[in-house]
Amino acid sequence: MRIVLTGGGTGGHIYPAVAVGKQIQEEVPETSLLYIGTERGLESRIVPAKGIPFEAIDITGFKRKLSIDNARTILRFIKGVKRSKQLLREFKPDAVVGTGGYVCGPVVYAAAKLGIPTLIHEQNVIPGLTNKFLSRYADLIAVSFEASTAHFNGSKRVIYTGNPCATQVLRAEPEKGCESLGLPAGSKIVLIVGGSRGAKAINDAMLSIVPELNRFPDIHFVFVTGETYHEQILRHIAERKLSGSGNLHIRPYLHNMAQVLAAALLIVSRSGASSIAEITALGVPSILIPSPNVTNNHQEPNARRLADAGAAEMVLERDLTGALLLDKLECIIGNEDRLKKMSNAASALGMPESARMITGELLRLCSGR
């Protein structure tokens, strides 16, 4: 088989595409993959590092306000479709899988116009602009949340599969997560991460409580800052001689996030769809801080679903302070019964077979050509 993957901008679009690709290769070992993204997005670094051939097209997203940039984006879209058709004709894929982000637009649209079977995957409860546009052309729409199906009324075929990242994360080895941090297997880890690019609000709240981390001598706090903020945070801690009594581990980025998450007692994070899928697949209790700077505020419904089920605490960014974060940490970490209940509630929401479901649907789609 030959499969084209596309999706980009953030890890929330990239990792589901990679998960589907890896699952297809596992089930059909001779499968060849090609990933089409942009040079500007994280996919230009993440995808080649995963050993998947990568090609780039030049495309940007639409602004929500009237702007001359939107006229330029239309021209880039037309050129992107032309370039995508060229790449598709050369690669001759059996199907194209899109997971959102503006780069999906020209690639999946071009595939549909060439008569190539297409599947798009929507990670969030509220679909993004690109997937809403592509729903008119895609042969199959897979969704992470059952509530998303109502947003695709009139589309050809919508199936509830969950997020493919859930399948991949279950293969992670927690011992290797501890080992990568220089910690003994079985260490109690609290993972703090603001998404693939980091989050200033979470970083600021975390920085303000670093001197208080000695309240948790048996806990190792793994603070993932994002590459943009990393040096600044290290300087801040050094200049103020802050200390976490040796239980604070600061990293710019984790390439083995799944392994560390599998070893975690608790995670403090944004509530992007891929993160939610991994958290629920592993049954990790969480404190979720939805990003307010995303399309349709889609992270808040993601987080609320877990909070309503008792699997997470949700804190809106406008309410986030170091004192509140510290209070939430103390209430959860020090209560074994609550940790267990949150873990069970998270697991009950998980869909660990997501990647296999999507792969099965994709194989059926290809066989019907």
122 and 25, same domain (yes or no): yes
Same domain, 160 and 192: no
Please tell me whether residues 56 and 144 are part of one structural domain: yes
Q: Are residues 213 and 338 in the same domain?
A: yes
339 and 361 together in one domain: no
One domain, residues 227 and 311:
yes
Please enumerate, by residue number, every residue annotated as part of a binding site.
10-12, 124, 196, 299
Cite the annotated binding site for UDP-N-acetyl-alpha-D-glucosamine by residue number. 10-12, 124, 196, 299
Q: Whose CA is closest to 198, among 14, 42, 39, 18?
A: 42
Q: Comparing C-alpha atoms, which of 207, 286, 269, 216 is closest to residue 247?
A: 216
Helix (H) or strand (E) holding 237: helix 227-239
pLDDT tens, residue order, the chain (369 aa):
999 999 988 888 999 999 999 999 999 999 999 999 999 888 999 999 999 999 999 886 655 555 556 667 788 899 999 999 999 999 999 999 999 998 999 999 999 999 999 999 998 888 888 999 999 999 999 998 888 888 887 666 999 999 998 887 888 999 999 999 999 999 999 999 997 778 999 999 999 999 999 889 999 999 999 988 999 999 988 887 776 567 999 999 998 999 999 999 999 999 988 889 999 999 999 999 999 988 778 899 889 999 999 999 999 999 999 999 999 999 999 899 999 999 999 999 988 788 899 999 999 998 876
pLDDT value for 369:
61
At 305, which helix (H) or strand (E)? helix 299-309
Q: What is the pLDDT of residue 146?
A: 85
> Sign of the CA dihedral 82, 112, 154, 124?
negative
> Which three-class secondary structure state does DSSP give residue 6?
strand
C-alpha pair distances (Å), 364 with each of 77, 135, 265, 333, 353: 30, 19, 39, 46, 17
Question: Do 54 and 84 belong together in one domain?
Answer: yes
Q: Are 170 and 259 in contact (CB under 8 A)?
A: no
Contact 233, 46 (CB under 8 A): no
**Maximum pairwise Cα distance, the chain:** 64
Domain count, the chain: 2
Q: 301-321: per-residue pLDDT in tens?
A: 889 999 999 999 999 999 999
Q: How many whole angstroms separate alpha carbon 369 and alpha carbon 354? A: 23
Question: What pLDDT score was predicted for residue 368?
Answer: 73
Residues 151, 23 share a domain:
yes
Q: β-strands 32-37, 54-56: how paired?
A: parallel
Residues 103 and 209 in one domain: no
CATH of the domain at 301: 3.40.50.2000
Question: Which 3 state secondary structure label does DSSP give 288?
Answer: strand
218 and 175, same structural domain?
Answer: yes
Same domain, 157 and 180: no
Same domain assignment for residues 112 and 154 = yes
- Domain range holding 65? 2-164+352-367
